[in-house]
Amino acid sequence: MKTLFIAIIGLLLSAGTHAQSIEGSWHGAITIAKAELPLVFHISKTATGYSSTMDSPKQGAFDLECSSTTFSNDSLTIIIDDLKAEYTGVYDAESHTFKGIFKQRMMHFDMELSQSAAEEEVSAKHRPQEPVPPYPYYSEDVTFENKVDGITLAGTLTMPKKRGKFPAVVLISGSGPQNRDEELLGHKPFLVIADYLTKQGYAVLRYDDRGTAKSGGDFASANSNDLSHDAEAAFNFLKARKGITKVGLAGHSEGGFIAPMVAARNPKVDFIILLAGPGMPGGELLLLQQELIGKANHMSESEIETTHELNEKAFEIMNQASDLNEAKSKLHLYFSEKLKELPDSLNPNGMNDEAVLELIDNQYATPWMYYFIRSKPAEYLSKVHCPVLALNGSKDLQVPAKQNLEGIKNALAKAGNNKVTIEELPNLNHLFQNCESGSPSEYASIEETFSPNALKAMSDWLKKVL
């Protein structure tokens, strides 16, 4: 799920910085929304000059290729085209540092690079639950067609290495463009889930989101309904596959919204599993999410209240607009006026109004956001009649357990569906990791990728219903 307004840090999710001296590893940090984000550049000598990769250890992003690296007359320039980012710095011989600026889009951050060690980098890549080949099961890279939108999607199908037919699960990822492992912050939860369930005797299909990795299509222009066609195409692919019996859908976060969308219109879906799936209207959920994460990040009550009021009005504009273009125009006018009143604490990097408005356009005025804010998961859940398992972590700040499990329960009751299991799992966050506070800032530093208790809950339920 997405965080709003205070989540500027998300713009740098793929932008870790790692560079080593000319040559080597150079460490620095920028400050975003009161949080320090370490970046590391790794610079190597080539036959024609230099090349580099970048890490953002706190965000679990490593080995990101930089488009170009130049060093001349003590001036260093590193460009990362995919992130629309650039670092420029001048070498200071006395301190053995580069003093410069990191830019992304229209934002500028002072950043000094040195070759001192970064604590955040140590063990950030340690993920003990990740399976290592050779796997004790069959694994095949596959492609399948979304005939509704004319898109070819790519994924991995794993099946037990034994004779017979097997029930199957399609894994549906959360919001944002994600690969088949739902890889984020150094974790690969879908790889862990697929490994566990396949060892338990189930076939599992996980796939790259449209426009991501090896899948075709355009993610930026898609909303949740479009993505539901991709999930249904995966379902249809398994239904037609030899050696498969019953087929269900397991969705995480936004995937837990998409799974009921498919099941509501396709009675052939045999079961659905909702992992931190929403049970309340999209706009209300994002407001609650923003408030809880703001508190976890130690924002003041006045900052949380101001941000809430800004978002609440923005969502109202989007709910009342007839289409995305109208919403975008009205949002631009609204925020142009509001920016004049904002306290400096909500703009800690001193961005000018033009930069802030661009950021707002990128977060609000998108097909995905327009659709999700107006969405009502209960409309789909109330039409689902197959068995349902809904799991949430008690410390989930992005899709809070109490409100959303209650919404799911009530909507399924309207469907007359009595084949429902709902469980709040103690001490787990939105990624189903055992955690301290549940804050997204903890995700990357936690070594656990997906709670064994949550894995067992899924497996036990599947054995019962299948």
Domain ranges of the chain: 8-121, 137-281+375-465, 283-372
| Matching fold, domains 8-121 and 137-281+375-465 | no
Condensed to tens digits (0 to 9), the pLDDT of residues 332-367 reads: 899 888 877 766 655 545 556 777 777 777 778 899
**What does the alpha-carbon distance between residue 346 and residue 336 come to, in Å, rounded to a whole number?**
15
Q: Out of 21-25, 251-255, 293-297, pick the least confident.
A: 21-25
The CATH architecture that domain 8-121 belongs to is Beta Barrel (2.40)
Question: 272-275 and 244-252 as β-strands: parallel, antiparallel, unpaired?
Answer: parallel
Contacts of 208 (CB under 8 A, 6+ apart): 153, 154, 155, 178, 179, 180, 214, 215
Residue recorded with tokens 């410069």: 100
Measuring CA to CA, which residue among 180, 181, 400, 393 is closest to residue 280?
400
DSSP three-state, residue 75: strand
Q: How far apart are the first and last CA of the chain?
A: 30
Lowest mean pLDDT among 119-128, 331-340, 365-374: 119-128
Give me the pLDDT at residue 336, please: 87
Greater pLDDT, 69 or 61: 69
Bridge partners (DSSP) of residue 36 are 31
The dihedral built from the CA positions of residue 453, 455, 459 and 461, taken in this order, carries a sign that is positive
Q: How confident is the model at residue 6 (pLDDT cuts 50, 70, 90)?
A: very low
Determine the topology of domain 137-281+375-465 in CATH: Rossmann fold (3.40.50)
Alpha-carbon span 326 to 278, nearest angstrom: 27
Residues with Cβ within 8 Å of residue 372, at least 6 apart in sequence: 175, 223, 224, 254, 282, 286
pLDDT band of residue 325 (cuts 50, 70, 90) is very high
pLDDT at 119: 39
Rounded Cα gap, residues 175 and 232, in angstroms: 17
Can you tell me the distance from the alpha carbon of 250 to that of 39, in angstroms, rounded to the nearest whole number? 35
Using 50, 70 and 90 to split pLDDT, how confident is the model at 287? very high
**What is the percentage of the chain residues whose pLDDT exceeds 70?**
90
pLDDT band at 12 (very low <50, low <70, confident <90, very high): very low
